Structure 1
């Protein structure tokens, strides 16, 4: 009887000391609510926006490190509005090159009626050269400051080593309300492990200038599906993901924006047709851009003219 008792105790001991179960990567409840059946309402809200304060359109400037998905987001926003895949702004895979493919200051329009109309939506996107580490690589922060104030002409070619001055041909001496930026959007890849400190310094200068000008700012974490396997399996897990929750807190601390101004999206990349979940997140971000920009123009219309 004694020997049997010893064997039983050893079996119990080995069971307790076996490999621990993997940590739960999803929260029981989402930390941010999303109505996944809201796409139609979001489209209606976006289509309802009409300029009322002297502006021809609302201008959204998208900036961020190389590979963050800036051009892809513009294409994805058009795809979500068109309800079909659209490729307009030149986008590249993140592993195609470590250098920026956007060299000129270009305005991107999105057209109504699924892209089949010649009438553009009353908001435009500007995609600028990507930011890189070091003093002589990527978008110069002084150029982004010039863009914010409306001093950069369409087609101006950025030079990382020589930012735009008031003596250059690409300098717009008399910007109107339509030339100035009304919403500043920082794109960051959610799956990046860290950000070069020199890029953080550049972003801080831009953030502070936008703050001084009163321009609303938001940040968007792209590539959320490659950050977290649970999001990859089901995009509706985005705001149940502990990984993304931690990442957004890190973003907030790094870029100086409150958490409710930071959103996650998945850009369209390999898809050949649109997906309601992907589009819902993109349209939520777009709706917020329009709302924040409209609020800013209404409050600053006189000084912007």
Structure 2
């Protein structure tokens, strides 16, 4: 039996048992290539391409097991006793940050055949930008998609009012959020099963430096609303690939210094703990999503579900 640590950034790691027996030769090989990777990432030493390719093949064996464990947990998840329906996860962020495409990534990563799912329309074309409150279900998970909060009329106060009502489950599915402007929110009753359990605030890692202080202040206020309602919150960064890290090194993405700097910057601006920050790819080519991109998505999702599950059990 061998326990293998998949991601680690000094404070955070996800440790999944591979549940397979390895010969001493395989173990020694794994140790050697791990040392090569450490040397390559921490020094100017460059390993020959064939060495890197062999390492990628070896790690794929172990990551495949980790992917199965993550997917099995999420697909077979059952709500604690006394709770029915779904775990509701809201994606909230600026227009074009990648909310809709992240849902596609989650659906793809959870697909039993590894197919790329494009259930949610995406794009910066005005006809494709999300304007309605929509939900998408898989197993016992339900993902809620919303309009970008900077695309609202009265963009300062309205996003806070809408978030408050969505978290409580007061806005019907299909409501056009751009046109929706209730004067008295309490006139809209809570819809059974629509209350939100967790919210993922989505940020484009490539445009983070361009977000001004006013928008960051708005984000802090939105995050405060979620905290006051005891809704678990995380940050998910998108388009991290454009920071320069190669896909074969995505398994160590949380060790990547440019990403750590982005998280540190975001934490300083918002007050959120860096341990609540993740990255999920919202870009891929072809009909299949790669294994590492699946793992990154399910790692973030599993962290949310486990914390929400504990909260539900305490509240029961």
Normalising by the residue count of structure 2, what TM-score does the alignment of the two structures yield?
0.73
Aligned equivalents of 1:268 and 1:86: distance in 2? Answer: 12
- Larger deviation, residues 195-204 vs 75-84: 195-204
Aligned to 2:176: 157
Deviation of 1:135 after TM superposition, in Å, equals 6.7
State which of 276, 284, 301 in structure 2 corresponds to 1:269: 284
- Equivalence for 1:208: 224
Q: Note the 1:47-126 alignment, pairs <5 A.
A: 47-52=75-80, 53-82=82-111, 83-92=114-123, 96=125, 101-110=129-138, 121-126=139-144
Cα deviation for residue 197 of structure 1 reads: 2.7
CA contact (8 A) 1:231 1:238 kept: no
Cα distance in structure 2, aligned partners of 1:233 and 1:133: 36
Give the SS at the match of 1:234. Answer: helix
- Runs of at least 5 residues in structure 2 that lack an aligned partner in the other structure: 1-7, 16-61
Q: Name the residue aligned to 2:69.
A: 41
1:34 Cα deviation from its structure 2 partner: 5.8
Q: 1:65 to 1:146 in 2, by over 3 A?
A: same
CA offset digits 1:3-33 (Å, max 9, x no partner): xxxxxxxxxxxxxxxxxxxxxxxxxx95454
Deviating 4+ runs (over 6 angstroms): none
Distance in 2 (CA, whole Å) between partners of 1:185 and 1:292 is 13
Give the Cα–Cα distance (whole angstroms) in 1 for the partners of residues 153 and 269 of structure 2: 20
**Is it true that 1:185 corresponds to 2:200 in the alignment?**
yes
Q: Determine the C-alpha separation between the residues in 2 that align with 1:167 and 1:81.
A: 35
If asked which structure has higher relative contact order (CA below 8 Å, sep 6+), I would say 1
- Work out the CA distance in 1 between the residues paired with 2:9 and 2:168: 39
- More helix per residue: 1 or 2? 2
Q: Tell me how far apart the structure 2 counterparts of residues 34 and 182 of structure 1 sit (CA, whole Å).
A: 22
Matched, 1:252 2:267: yes
Give me the whole-angstrom Cα distance separating, in 1, the residues matched to 2:183 and 2:171: 10
User: Aligned pair in 2 of structure 1 residues 230, 202: CA closer, same or farther (>3 Å)?
Assistant: same
Residues 162-198 of structure 1: CA distance to partner in whole angstroms, max 9, x if unpaired? 6334479xx641343x121000110101111231333
Taking a change above 3 Å as real, the CA distance of residues 101 and 137 of structure 1, as seen in their structure-2 partners, is farther
Q: Secondary structure at the match of 2:300?
A: helix
Contact 2:147 2:178 in 1 (8 A): no
Residue 237 of structure 2 aligns to a residue whose secondary structure is strand
Q: Retained in 1: the 8 A contact 2:121–2:128?
A: no
How big is the shift at 1:124? Answer: 0.2
Consecutive unaligned residues of structure 1, counting only runs of 5 or more, are: 1-28, 111-120
Give the SS at the match of 1:140: helix
